[in-house]
Amino acid sequence: MQNQELKYWLAFAKLSLFRNKHFLFHKNFFDSLADFWNASFDALTDAKITDQVAHNFINTRSTINPEQELEYLYKYNLDVLLFDEPNYPSLLKEISSPPLLLFYRGNKEILHQQLFAIVGTRKFSSYGKQITLQLTQKVVDNNLIPVSGLALGIDTIVHQTCVNNHFPTVAVLGCGIDDNTIYPRSNYRLAQEIIKNNGIIISEYSAQTEALKHHFPARNRLISGLSLGTLVTEARQKSGALITAHFALEQNREVFAVPGPITQSTSDGTNNLIKLGAKTVTTVQDILDELNLPQKIAIQKTRNVVPDSPEELEILNQLSSESKHINQIALACKKSITYINAQLLLLEMKGRVHNLGNMHFTLKT
């Protein structure tokens, strides 16, 4: 596409005044997007645009400079997918309010593969961390590409698991995706790793657009809209992850949830989703069966965890896929907590154990 046309796509998207499918209808009344952008009130109403929207458009378009929007695109080295192009994600086109365009950095080809959303609370429990690690790993093992929102908490665990496996993942942001604006800032390096590992970061917001509160519900509709289904691994009753689940239902996509302890508030949201009809997930097979996907790996291979010393062997023998507190390990090994903690830190750095937080650990398989 020529820059002359692209700059107006960028300007219309920044304006956010026309719903996507309406925009394509109105666009057909003009010879070019430049004519549409500069149209008079009469020309706009002749294109079946209501008087109110036409007035709003004329009054606000002067606040946006199409040339500047194009300059930002190149300055920050961003790419863009336009709604009327064949490489725009097909599943996203099916939702009621797909964005006019998507800004992206990374491998756009994965947007046409089988995507699966995994989301959850920012403040997770050790249980939530453990099941998210395990289920994300199994999803990866079965060649489903995880989609999440790069937020702190469960989203970070999902993306980091993919990066650790050198497997692509899709991160959908509620802000610009230029280096200066990626949010949260603590996940800037993770965003770069996602791109390096053949993944992609995407957003409907242009460069330098800050992360505002109302952007995140809008972002969530894209997470679910890109995906065959959405899994909530852990969520409180008012978690933003539940917004993603509700969007998935509206978009006629499958919703999955992991049941959790009734004594933990971090499981209130997921337990309630199951009451409302979400599919219960205890293994990846529950997801594959519901989506009618074959299991790519019938028998998962357990990694050989080879200790480097007798001290490591003693600790590894106390660990399994079940969570264990450091006090239990120290008691079984008859060693001080300080000693066990130092050994566990080394094992974690070697990628042999998972630190679930709150001094709970599992064997990494």
In a domain, 257, yes or no: yes
One domain, residues 165 and 255: yes
CATH number for the domain harbouring residue 191: 3.40.50.450
Residue 253 maps to a domain: yes
324 with 225, same domain? Answer: no
Side-chain-facing half-sphere of 78: CA atoms under 13 Å: 30
- Do 265 and 316 have their domain in common? no
54 is a domain residue? yes
Write down the mean pLDDT value for the chain. 90
Query: Quick check: helix, strand or coil at residue 360?
Result: strand
Which structural domain, as residue segments, surrounds residue 342? 310-363
Q: Quick one: 183 and 41 in the same domain? A: no
pLDDT at residue 298 in the model:
39
Shared domain for 219 and 280, answered yes or no, is yes
Same domain, 191 and 331: no
Average confidence (pLDDT) over 125-139: 94
User: Which of 294, 322, 345 minimizes the C-alpha distance to 131?
Assistant: 322
Three-state DSSP class for residue 119? strand
Confidence of residue 301 (pLDDT cuts 50, 70, 90): very low
Does residue 286 sit in the same domain as residue 316? no
Dihedral over Cα of 327, 312, 321, 362: its sign: positive
User: Per-residue confidence at 300, pLDDT binned at 50, 70, 90?
Assistant: very low
The verdict on residue 58 lying in a domain is: yes
How far is it, in rounded angstroms, from Cα 277 to Cα 329? 40
Enumerate the β-bridge partners of residue 232. Answer: 119, 257
Interval 190-214: pLDDT, tens: 999 999 999 999 999 999 999 998 9
* One domain, residues 133 and 281: yes
Give 84's pLDDT tier (boundaries 50, 70, 90). confident
Decide which of 340 and 21 is more confident: 340
Instruction: pLDDT band for 299, please (50, 70, 90 cuts).
Output: very low
Looking at residue 306, what is its pLDDT? Answer: 60
Predicted confidence band of residue 90 (pLDDT cuts 50, 70, 90):
very high
Percent of the chain residues topping a pLDDT of 90: 71
What's the pTM?
A: 0.80
Are residues 203 and 278 both part of a single domain?
yes
Q: What is the pLDDT of residue 1?
A: 56
Does 90 fall in a domain?
Answer: no
Residue 229 is predicted with a pLDDT of 97
Query: With 50 as the cut, is the pLDDT of residue 217 above it?
Result: yes
The domain that holds 347 is classified in CATH as: 1.10.10.10
Are 6 and 147 members of one domain? Answer: no
Q: Residues 239-256: pLDDT tens digits? A: 889 999 999 999 999 999
49/144 same-domain check: no
pLDDT at site 296: 55
Higher-pLDDT residue of 270, 346? 270
Q: For residue 203, is it within any domain?
A: yes
- Domain co-membership, 149 together with 192: yes
**Weakest mean pLDDT among 37-51, 107-121, 210-224, 308-322:** 308-322
User: Is the pLDDT at 180 greater than 90, yes or no?
Assistant: yes
Average pLDDT over residues 221-245: 94
Return the CA Rg of the chain.
24
Q: Structurally, how many domains does the chain consist of? A: 3
Among 238, 261, 290, residue at a domain's last position: 290
